[in-house]
Chain A
Amino acid sequence: MPVSRRGFLSLVGSGASRSEVGALLAARGHEAYQAAAQQGQQAGQGQGGRAGGGGRAARPPLPEGVEEIKISSNENPLGPGKTVLDAIIGQFDEAGRYPFNSNPGEGKLVETIAALHKAKPENVVLGAGSQEILKTAIRGFTTPFRPLVTGAPTFENCTGLARRMGHPVFEVKVDSQFKINLEDMLAVVRGAGLVFLNNPNNPTATVHGLKTVTDFVERVRRISPDTVILIDEAYHEYVTDPDYATAMPLALSTPNVFVARTFSKAYGMAGMRIGYAVGQVDTVKPLARLRMPYGISVLGVAAGIAALNDPKHIEAERARNTEVRKFTVKALEDLGCKPTVSNGNFLFVDIGRPARVMRDACAKSYVQIGRDFPPFEGSHARISLGTMAEMQKAVAVFRDVLRPVMPAGGGR
């Protein structure tokens, strides 16, 4: 297979990469499991913690009066809020009904999402978390002959599944600002089955503006009209960059482009497993065909509808996160660390030492930060943003952990 031979491109899916596949198998679960796996726990069946416990139950029990600070999985520390919890409670009477029979039913959630994005219900496909959307996209759009083009580092669900299926993967290293390197993606996009564009990008927290994304889409379509572009806007609600806007209208007006969204981040429902895709009917049809039927619980359906009908709650959540983000960025900069320009509910920080060193040290003080993100595991850590109170405590821990070796004013 012809590959541009520059060092930052890697073509995976050949026999040479089998050991990496094994590593990915261990790492491929969702965020909490990836964290758990890295801590030497088995990420397999039956090894997890309490339902809703965040994947840390296999760790030693917390001393009395100590609360763990979980800033490892880019979750909303406050959960979904009272309006949504009330909607869930209000739906208990429907728990025995399938989501296509319940009131409100799954179709009402689809209609609510469609109305929000000025789309038709047939433009919307639900998923059990946006992870199902991403996995379905790999199954639907890549083949052994039609590669995945994705970032490095980026959210790995697509990468992991494509590799397991033996479909080739082009991993394109982020640019010097830790943004998804769109120019380098264009160099390998011809003939690709799917481009995965995580915007903002997890774990690097950077974002591209709408004009840049629109230009990129146009160029991909010129070079490789049959390539499908998946724009994952999981962290959309947290973006403050004025150049950014959603690609929803772009997806609805352009063939082979669709946007993925999730209720797992700002909406505070990671445990509820609700995500969706929006695009032109012909584009999202393969997702609809491959999706698991009625995979969202009736409680999730009611929760999703209630959440979308409460936009003020999301505005407040964005403001809260922005304030915490400013505080944490400044605190880390004061310690000589260099965070990227974050538009998410997490930071990607040059800590001048391996992530594992900081992670292990923080864990001793019951602060759980993100796992390794190759190729930057030797220098960068991903730190999710908790509540202000949590981050004040966490920063005190960071100070202890980072001060001994961090030279003042320089993290590189």
Chain B
Amino acid sequence: MLTRRKFVQAAGVAGAAWIGARGRENAVWNLLEPGLEAQAAAPAGPIIPLSSNENPLGPPKAVIDAIQKAFGPAGAAPGRYSGGAGPLIEALAKQHGVQPANIVLGCGSTQILRSATHLFTARTKAMVGTIPTYEECAGYADMMGNPVRAIPLDSEFNVDLDRMADAARGSGLVFFCNPNNPVATYVGASATRDFLARVNRISPETTILVDEAYFDYVTNPDHATHIPAAVEDPRILVARTFSKAYGMAGLRMGYAVGHVDTIKKMADFDGGSGTSSLNVLAMAGGLAAVQMDGSFVKGERDRNTAARDFTMKWFADRGMKPTASQANFMFINIGRPAKEFREACLAKGVRVARDFPPFEKTHCRISIGTMDEMQKATKVFGEVLGKASATHAA
């Protein structure tokens, strides 16, 4: 039996680690947080952006067409406040087989994660997540002065479900990002269901936020959404986003699905209308995306899987082991500091991701671009990694 003391870090210590890990990729934030690494200079010319887990092809044409149509007669419609989120919420409800009252929209899933953190953590109710994971919840909890418990991953970079469940006891919010950013690993549907039930049992007051941002990229056959559990249980909430497979990161649209009581709390937190942060073009685009048949997402998954397989093999062939990626990015032991690799790649026109402590000395996160981009990028990786830097190898 693992003791809590060994694996659950106290707020202050974990907080510092999260702050270091947060790097919120935000220009304004960086300006106000001079401690964060300054952006290295990029060369002139096109950059292959493999740093933010975006869909390299952007949204489908139907989304762009819907946005342009949303300009309205004489282009006046963007001058009006949104009339509400009704049609998009109804379409999402239909897609997921739930009621509209089970859904709240957010300005990207970022807003969902923040609202949940605000509502479900407190000075005496910690936020629990793996380290590393997507930092929005931990960063925000820490900013509010609420404790954060950072739970190490297992040796394969999977969520250590025993440790997580143990740490969840008495906590306010468990953030369960699956597939997990930045490490790309995935916990199967049955194991996740067991984990949710276990946390509910041993810590009945704890809310679990299952972030399914990369849901559409999973190829593991043991795969299912946890929306059905969320709709039934007020302590489980699922976050989704249009930023990944739908290629709409720039439009800022995400949502949460859950029990009506939990959704009401979320909606009330940022305003009962739920639309004050949502732009009308993203709502129109989101609606068009949801109304498409499933072939777009399947096509995007297949495209990503092919580019992922190619890139994984490229690294594996060179003795650098990526984790078992089920997402549109990889986490790879490159045997040297991510910063060194990143700066060398950027100088050659490829931008890979920032540091992810505590693995910034050995691992790098690389998003999956198009096959063409990955073929070009691996040439650059070969040039950069081929250079002698054994002194830095782990």
Contacts and interface: CB of A to CB of B under 8 A. Distances in A.
B138 interface: no
Nearest to B118: A139
B86 interface: yes
Contact of B54 (A25, A47, A52, A96): A96
Nearest to A288: B32
Interface of A: 25-26, 28-33, 36, 43-57, 70, 73, 75-82, 85, 88-89, 91-102, 105-107, 110, 121-122, 124-126, 128-129, 131-132, 135, 164, 264, 268-273, 281, 285, 288-300, 303
B243 A54 contact: no
B268 A80 contact: no
Contacts of A50: 83, 86-87
Given A52-B83, A76-B79, A128-B277, A100 B272 contact: no
Contact of A299 (B88, B89, B251, B276): B251
Contact of A270 (B29, B79, B250): B79
A295 B28 contact: no
> 4 closest Cβ contacts across the A-B interface?
A48-B84, A29-B273, A96-B58, A298-B250
Given A48-B83, A129-B277, 20 more contacts: A29-B275, A32-B81, A33-B273, A46-B90, A50-B87, A52-B70, A52-B283, A75-B79, A78-B79, A79-B76, A88-B78, A98-B250, A99-B252, A269-B78, A271-B281, A281-B32, A294-B110, A295-B107, A297-B252, A297-B282
A110 B83 CA distance: 28
Give the interface centre of A26, A79, A296 by most chain B CB atoms within 10 Å.
Answer: A79
A19 to B, nearest CB: 16
30 contacts: A28-B273, A30-B82, A49-B84, A50-B86, A52-B280, A54-B83, A55-B81, A57-B83, A75-B79, A75-B80, A79-B79, A79-B80, A82-B75, A94-B58, A95-B247, A96-B55, A96-B247, A96-B249, A96-B250, A97-B249, A98-B249, A121-B28, A128-B279, A129-B277, A132-B277, A264-B81, A271-B78, A273-B279, A288-B28, A293-B25
B70 A43 contact: no
Interface string B264-302: 000110111111111111111101000000000000000
A95 B267 CA distance: 26
Given A32-B82, A122-B32, A294-B252, A299 B27 contact: no
B359 interface: no
Contacts of B274: 29, 44-45
Nearest to B273: A29
Interface string B49-74: 10110111111000110011011101
B272 A44 contact: yes
